Amino acid sequence: MRQNLRRPGLYVVALALLLCTYTQTVRAADFGSIGGSPAVAQEGNERSEGIFIFTLKPGETGENGVRIDNNQKDERTVVIRVVDSIASNDGSFACRQDAEKKVGVSTWVKLEASQVTIPAGENKIVDFTVSVPKGASPGEHDACVTLQDTQNFAATKGAGIQLGFRIAIRLAVQVPGKIIKNLSIGGVQTSRSKGGGYTVTPVARNTGNVSLDVKGRAQLFSIFGQQSEVVNQTYTVMQGALLKRPYDFKPIFWGGFYKAKLSLGYNANVADGIGAESGGQTKRVSTETKYFFVMPDTRALVAELAIPVFGIAGLCMWLRRRHRRRTAHKRMKQYVVQPGDTIMSVAKTHNVKWKRLASANGIKAPYMIQTNQTLLVPNLKAKHSKLRKPAQDQWVVEAAPTEAQAPTDGERIQNTAQQPSGGQTETVVKYVYVNVPQKPKKRGKGKYDWAQPAIYYGEPQEPSKPKRKQTTVTKKRIASQPKRATKPKKGS
C-alpha cells in the first residue's frame, strides 16, 4: 500500500520541479540555501549576468561555467542537470521536468560534473561546453541549467505527496542565419476581477524564431474622455509562443463605458541578440477593444440611480406648477383692494381659500394687504365649464331685464325675487338664469379647483320624475327537477 501511494507522489514531485524563470536582469538564481549564476558574463551585456548567452554557428562549440554558492552554515551537496525549455501558459520562459526525455538543446550541453559538494559559505564553478550540431536551424534555441540541494529532494520514504525544489538558469543559444522577429495581436480579453477592478489581457503570438523582450502599455478610456492610470509591463515572449499577459486595473469608482488601448513594443533589429539594444528600430503593435461596461462602486451606483430619479421628479413638479400657474392666470382677474378688506374677506367673497389666494399673489406672513393693492382673484367666468341644468329650488326668476340691465356672464343674481302669487299673472319670457356655485371639487392634499357657476339660458322647467326601475325575473329550471311530461300530439 505504501508503494502504491509513493508512485503518484513521485509524479507530483516531478511536476513541482517545473520552474519558470523570467528574463529580467539578475545577478544569481537563489533559493536561500544555494545560489547560481553564469561564471563568465559578456562584457557590456547585463542580461548575461543571469542568463547563459551563446552565439554559435552550426558545428561550433562554446564554453562557460555555472557558479554555485553555498549560503548555509553547513556543507551542502548540489546536483546539476540540464533540461529542455518550454513556453509557459503566458508565453514566458519555463523549464521541463527532469524526468522528461532530452530531445533539444539539453543534448548539446556536456557538464564537467553532475554533483558537487560545497563547504559552508563558499562557492564552486562547474564548467560545461555547448556543441551546436551541423543541422541546427537559424534562430534561438533554449535550455535550463538546474541546481538542486540534496536536502531539498523529496523524501523517498513515507506515503502521500513529497515535494522537492530546485533553481534554474536560462541557457540561450542563437544560431546565425535568417532571423525573424515578429509579434502579432489577435485580440484582447477583458474580465472583472474579484476586487472590483478589471483585467485586460492581450492575446498575441510571437511568430518569429527568436524570443522577444516586450514592453507593454495598457490604458482605459471612457466614452467621455476620462482616462485610467497607465499600466506598464516588461516581459519575454518565447519564439512561437502565445502571449496572454494580464494587465490589472484598479476599481473605477463611478464606472461607465470604457475601452482598452494596448501597445506592445519590441526591438525589431535582427542583428541584436538577447540583451543587445542598438536602438532606433523599436516596433510597436497596437490594438483597442470595443466599449464595455465597467461596474461602478455600490455607493456610486446608488448616487447614479438617484440623480435621474430626482431630476425627473423635479422636472415633473416644475411642469405641473407651470401648468397650474398658466391655468390659474387664465381663470383669474384683477381685483383692487377696498378699505376694510383683508386677505380672508377677499378670499371668502371670491369663494377661494385664503392661503391659496395668498400663495397666488405672493403674499407671505403676516398676510397684510393694502388699500388699492391689485390682487389676482378667481375669474367667475365659466368659459370652459360644462352647462348643466340646475335644480328647481336653485332657479332665480326676475322680470325680463332691459338690455342695459341685463346681467353679464358670471354675475351672480341674488335669490330675492319671488314667484308670482295671488291673482296676479305675469308672462314668463326667456331670462338669464345663473346657477348657484357648487362646492369646489377636491383635488387632493387640500387643493381645490376654482368654484365656477354654470350658466343656463332658457325657461325654468319642472324637474322630471325619475323613471321607476324595472326589474325582470328569469325563471330557471332546477337541474334536479325532471322535465314535465308533455301530452302527445294528436295523430302521433
pLDDT tens-place string over residues 440-461: 444 454 444 444 443 343 444 4
Span 301-313, mean pLDDT?
Answer: 88
The verdict on domain 183-294 having CATH code 3.40.50.1240 is: no
Q: Is the pLDDT of residue 426 over 80?
A: no
For residue 331 the three cell numbers come to: 381663470
Span 305-318, mean pLDDT?
Answer: 91
Half-sphere exposure of 136 (CA within 13 A, CB side): 28
8 Å CB contact between 296 and 254: yes
> According to the model, what pLDDT value does residue 25 have?
33
Residue 487 binned pLDDT confidence (cut-offs 50, 70, 90): low
Q: pLDDT tens digits for 89-142?
A: 899 999 999 889 999 999 999 999 999 999 999 999 999 999 999 999 999 999
Q: Is the pLDDT of residue 28 over 80?
A: no
> According to the model, what pLDDT value does residue 321 have?
81
For residue 87 the three cell numbers come to: 513556453
Q: How far apart are CA 348 and CA 378, in angstroms?
A: 11
> According to the model, what pLDDT value does residue 456 have?
40
Burial class (CB in 10 A: 0-12, 13-18, 19+), 188: buried
Helix-strand-coil percent breakdown of the chain, rounded to 5?
15, 35, 50
Residue 55 binned pLDDT confidence (cut-offs 50, 70, 90): very high
Span 232-251, mean pLDDT?
Answer: 94
> According to the model, what pLDDT value does residue 359 have?
85
Burial class (CB in 10 A: 0-12, 13-18, 19+), 13: buried
Average pLDDT of the residues of the chain: 76
Q: pLDDT tens digits for 180-216?
A: 999 999 999 999 988 889 999 999 999 999 999 999 9
26 vs 42, 52, 287, 295, 483, CA distance in Å?
Answer: 14, 12, 32, 40, 111
Listing DSSP states for 175-186 in one string gives: E-SS----EEEE
> According to the model, what pLDDT value does residue 455 have?
39
Q: Is the pLDDT of residue 328 over 50?
A: yes
Burial 84-98 (b: 16+ CB within 10 A, else e): bbbbbebbbbbbbbb
The alpha carbon of 300 is separated from its chain's Cα centroid by a whole number of angstroms, namely 11
For residue 410 the three cell numbers come to: 358670471
Least confident of 12-21, 108-117, 143-152: 12-21
Burial class (CB in 10 A: 0-12, 13-18, 19+), 79: middle
> According to the model, what pLDDT value does residue 428 have?
37
Specify the pTM: 0.58
Half-sphere exposure of 319 (CA within 13 A, CB side): 6
> According to the model, what pLDDT value does residue 211 have?
95
* Amino acid letter, residue 248: D
Span 71-79, mean pLDDT?
Answer: 91
Q: Is the pLDDT of residue 50 over 60?
A: yes
What stretches of 256-397 adopt beta strand conformation (E)? 256-267, 282-288, 292-294, 332-336, 374-378
8 Å CB contact between 251 and 296: no
Phi, psi values for residue 316, rounded to 5°: -65, -40
8 Å CB contact between 235 and 214: yes
- Indicate the SS3 state at residue 472: coil
For residue 463 the three cell numbers come to: 324637474
8 Å CB contact between 68 and 78: yes
Alpha helix ranges (H) inside 367-425: none
Residue 201 CB: number of other CB atoms within 10 A? Answer: 20
Choose among 251, 264, 247: nearest CA to 201: 247
8 Å CB contact between 218 and 247: yes
Residue 303 binned pLDDT confidence (cut-offs 50, 70, 90): confident
Domains 2-175 and 183-294 share a fold: yes
Residue 37 CB: number of other CB atoms within 10 A? Answer: 20
Considering the four listed CATH numbers 3.10.350.10, 3.40.1390.10, 3.40.50.2300, 1.10.3210.10, the one that applies to the domain covering 298-378 is 3.10.350.10
> According to the model, what pLDDT value does residue 352 have?
87
Q: Is the pLDDT of residue 17 over 50?
A: no
- Indicate the SS3 state at residue 151: helix
* Amino acid letter, residue 477: R
Q: How far apart are CA 210 and CA 236, in angstroms?
A: 11
8 Å CB contact between 115 and 266: no
> According to the model, what pLDDT value does residue 83 have?
95
> According to the model, what pLDDT value does residue 137 have?
95
Span 56-82, mean pLDDT?
Answer: 94
Q: Where along the chain do its domains lie?
A: 2-175, 183-294, 298-378
8 Å CB contact between 169 and 52: yes
The alpha carbon of 485 is separated from its chain's Cα centroid by a whole number of angstroms, namely 81
> According to the model, what pLDDT value does residue 386 have?
39
Strand partners for 267: 282
> According to the model, what pLDDT value does residue 416 have?
34
Span 206-234, mean pLDDT?
Answer: 95
Quick one: which H or E segment has residue 5?
Answer: helix 2-16
> According to the model, what pLDDT value does residue 15 have?
36
Half-sphere exposure of 381 (CA within 13 A, CB side): 11
Q: Could you tell me which CATH class the domain 2-175 is placed in?
A: mainly beta
Residues in the chain: 492
> According to the model, what pLDDT value does residue 94 have?
93
100 vs 17, 22, 145, 335, 343, CA distance in Å?
Answer: 11, 21, 14, 106, 103
Higher pLDDT, 411 or 313: 313
8 Å CB contact between 396 and 433: yes
